[in-house]
Structure 1
Amino acid sequence: MSELAHTQPTPPPFDGLHGSSRSLAMLAVSLSVFLALLDYAIANVALPDIARDLNASASSSIWVVNAYQLASLISLLPLAALGSKVGFARLCRTGIMIFMVSSLMCALAPTLPLLAAARVIQGIGGACIMSVNIALVRFIYPHAEIGRGIALNGVVVAVGVALGPTAAAAILSMASWPWLFWINLPLGAVALFMAFKALPAVPRSTQKSDVLGSFLCVLALGALVMGGDGLAHRSGLALSVGLMVLGVACGLLLVRREHGLAQPIFPVDLLGKPEFAVAFVTGFGGFVASNFYIVSMPFTLHDELGLGSALTGLLITPWPIGIMCAAPVVRRVADTVSAGVLSSIGLSVTALGFILLWLLPLQPSVFDIAWRTAIAGWGFGFFQPPNNRAMMVAAPHTRAGGASGLVQVARQAGQAVGAMGVAAFFVQFGHEGARACLLAASCVAAAAAALSASRLFMRN
């Protein structure tokens, strides 16, 4: 194990870009992130069409979504470690190219298994981009302005996720579902051009690659997610428990194998820093709460309130609008006011928005739903950038890749656990499950706000 560790050279001073170089570099990051996140959400709307055209069942067609999400989550940390070695910009460009090739494969897939396999490759390409995007932001912006860059990145994330269903509906109104993937080719070409033109070269790690460690990391996260999903659906309980045990065992082996390494794939040493650990768990909790809302709210609107699909989609829109409205405010204060203050306020407002949605009258107006959703979204947009900034500045520059990977793990693992929670609530409570999820979302957001506030009592 010791032969894997190498002494890290002292990196040259690097305190961000300035002027047009910074603007172009941030545009390159934003385009690549937008590409990955737009396609994360865009396929959901087309699942019925895909199932019909490929002669597949509705339940099996869900793997078009699950394959992308699972591949992305389990590859994040190994790819973040790889980015530290080969360069964040190079990995981002590689991810865009993988994304474009896999999009071509998706568009041409004649069967559901081949489409799901192409989506796995696409998820890996997306993870190449997402695993290093925050690390790139850290090197694009000077240390004193990192919060501004992370806030802008948060807006891009919100817009990408929000536009997915809308873009899919617009494309499907004019063309067949393969065009959801054909559209990635021109978008990817623009993102790739900007990535080659503007992304900065940053110091690289000299540590030897750990292939076995990467395999253990993938196996641990994959087994935990699949086992947790089985438990949530109460299907194959013995297999699900076995997968959970396997995931924990692989995780422990990984931590033991990489103990003392300068650049571990699973950066448990960063989680040993109290300020980093609190920010990580706070971020995880925030995304658990958000997915309780995001996954369950369409069922509340469609099944409980009897709203049509178009209006249901429209009434989800105040969530990303709220996030975008928070960005100008949080950008001004993210670098000067502590995350313990800002993220706690944001999550408290999010919890308030969710509880107000839970308390909706039996026959609410469109406005009743919209303003409550916007409040929750504004709070979420106010919470994310300071919390992500806290994680990045708590890690040294030489660990930017690992920190960036954990930022994304907190997001995607939180989303996965939130979706599992919704499934468990639906199994337990039936038709009442959707409304119960809103109460659960509020409780989880409030707990995350309390954890975030604990930073105010930490010793500097």
Structure 2
Amino acid sequence: MSLFSDLPGDEGLPGVQRRRAMLAVMTATTMAVFDGTIINVALPQISLALQTSAAASVWVANAYLLATAMTLAAFAALSSRLGFRTQFTAGLAVFTLASLGCALSHSVDLLIAMRVLQGLGGAAMLSIAPAIHRTVFPNRLLGRILGLNAVLVAASTAVGPVLGGTLLAALGWEWIFLINVPLGIVAVLLSWSAIPETRKPVQAPFDVAGALWSALAMGAIIMAADTCARFAEPGQGTHARLEAAAYALVALLAGAAFVRGQRRVPEPLLPLDIFANARFSLAALTSLASFVGQGIAFVALPFLFQNGYGYTAFESAALFTPWPLGIVLVAPHAGKLADRHSPALLSSLGLALFTVGLGLLALLPDHAQAWDIGWRALVCGMGFGFFQSPNNREMLSNVARERSGNASGVLAIMRTFGQCLGAALLGTILAIYTAGAVAQGELKMSAAQDGDAIRLALWVAVLATALATAVSASRLRRKAQSPA
């Protein structure tokens, strides 16, 4: 049955309006994913064109990530006051205008400022995109649309570097941002005409303190992870460790202050009572642990491919292609199955396969051929694709519809926090191996040592996803709770 067919008793929107809303959300999602995958390819050319250092150009990428992560919780809460249509359309408009500003920037400082604006617009959209799907589509189709969304993200991730390389070669770095402008204009028109307004009257003032504490906590987490990634750089070890410890302390204190404040304000930024539903809480923990494993693998494997095996950057990107391909092949079917069968069971099976795939990558021989890497990466992608959409469905369907924005924000926070924690763990492992190499009188790790460090990191990723599998499987003993 079509995603746009109507049945008696369906929640959400009629089929025609449903199609337009889906196109708006998916266009915006594609823009955000492309932006995240293309920018890393473009940094060397941006650095050269704007006559800035490589270290400064890295902040072109980091500024977007920081702005997004720091405001996810705030925008998830604001959606109930502003309404999905107003917030999503405004965020999309800001993202589109900031993209134009990025393309017109003639200094790295202005470009970084525009990237911060892009991040704010992206957070306004991404924090509520899954919630819009739940509002627009009936429950019987929720798994299918989330599976289709997973396919879109995976396909965009795979195509992004290729598209970015083509635009850079043919037109210049400005076009990686200009491509967002026509897409953004179309998506703004679609979203304003098709996404329903969900604003509800709220008497209590907005939780400004909670927004500030959450922003400080998430920003400190991102900076701690970024600092951990510098542990392995020559001469950075001691300073980077102290800096990471300071950021981690700030994150811990800000997080504690945030949780304490949420229990006291009449209209909290993140209502903690949504975690009273055990299946929602377990799905959130499952997502967190799984993204730790994914975060480690995504950062570690390029080191293995290039430093351990000697592949070029382009070849390394090509070796990643089977991973998103596996998601594309599996995620739509997983989404359909989740509408008819237990999402917890499907998630657990997918995570088990994902764990096996990571273990296979950790067992790669010292001189692996491309085909040997590819089929193992494909197993990872198929496992992750079979896990993600059922688990997301479980999170969204175990809260009341009026709390969908909050649940969507939690989903985005778990993904961001998990990936950052994975990067921090990898940075720590690389630092330990680098310190060992220096102690032996070497300037840097050898290819063999690099390979050993990455394999250890992959085994840590296996442990993280095995934990996620165990948490996911624990849901099978619990009956589904109807959201209040």
Q: Tell me the TM-score normalised to structure 2 length.
A: 0.88
State the partner residue of 2:411. 407
Verify the 8 A CA contact 2:221 2:420 in the aligned structure 1: no
- Could you list the runs of 4 or more consecutive aligned residues of structure 1 that deviate by over 4 angstroms after TM superposition? 260-263
CA distance in 2 between counterparts of 1:318 and 1:239 reads 37
Gaps spanning 5+ residues in structure 1: where? 1-12
Could you list the per-position Cα deviations for residues 340-361 of structure 1 after superposition, in whole angstroms to 9, with x for gaps in the alignment? 2111111111111111112122
The answer to whether the 8 A contact 1:158-1:324 is kept is yes
Percent of counterpart pairs with the same letter?
37
Deviations 1:87-141 (A, max 9, x none): 1121111111111111122112222222222111111111111011011000111
Alignment of 1:320 with 2:318, yes or no, is no
Residue 420 of structure 2 is aligned with which of 411, 416, 421?
416
2:221 aligned with 1:201 = no
The correspondence of residues 219-298 of structure 1 with structure 2, limited to 5 A, is 219-231=216-228, 233=231, 234=237, 235-259=239-263, 263-298=267-302
1:447 matches 2:467: yes
Q: CA deviation at 1:194?
A: 1.6
The question of 1:352 aligning with 2:386 is answered no
CA offset at residue 261 of structure 1? 5.2
Aligned length: 448
CA pair 231-291 structure 1, distance change in 2 beyond 3 A: closer
Residues 268-324 of structure 1: CA distance to partner in whole angstroms, max 9, x if unpaired? 322333211111111011111112111111121122111222221111111111001
CA contact (8 A) 2:279 2:398 kept: yes
Q: Tell me which moved more, 356-365 or 292-301.
A: 356-365
Cα deviation, residue 22, structure 1: 1.8
CA distance in 1, matches of 2:266, 2:10: 20
For 1:364 and 1:403, locate their aligned partners in 2 and report how far apart those are by CA, in whole Å.
42
CA distance in 2, matches of 1:103, 1:349: 38
Q: CA deviation at 1:250?
A: 2.4
- State the distance in 2 between where 1:218 and 1:270 align: 20
- Assess, with a 3 A threshold, how the Cα gap between structure 1 residues 140 and 179 changes in structure 2: closer, same or farther: same
| C-alpha RMSD of the superposition | 1.9
CA change 1:262–1:157 in 2 (3 A) is farther
Alpha-carbon shift at residue 408 of structure 1 (Å):
0.7
1:262 Cα deviation (Å)? 6.3
Q: Distance in 1 between matches of 2:53 and 2:456?
A: 29
For structure 2, the 5+ residue unaligned runs are 1-8, 232-236, 435-449
**Pair 1:178-2:174 in alignment:** yes
Amino acid at match of 2:272: V
**Alignment partner, residue 161 of structure 1:** 157
**What SS class does the counterpart of residue 43 from structure 1 fall into?**
helix
Deviation at 1:389, TM superposition (A): 1.0
Quote the Cα distance in structure 1 between the aligned partners of 2:463 and 2:254.
31
Partner of 1:15 in structure 2?
11
- 1:312 and 1:331, CA in 2 relative to 1: closer, same or farther beyond 3 A? same
The answer as to 2:102 corresponding to 1:106 is yes
Equivalence map 1:336-351=2 (5 Å): 336-351=340-355
Contact 1:217–1:266 (Cα < 8 Å) also in 2: no
Shift of the 243–362 alpha-carbon distance from structure 1 to 2, 3 Å rule, reads: closer
Q: Output one character per residue of 1:410-440: Cα deviation in whole Å (capped at 9) or x when no partner.
A: 1111111122222222222242322322222
Name the TM-score, length of structure 1 as normaliser: 0.92
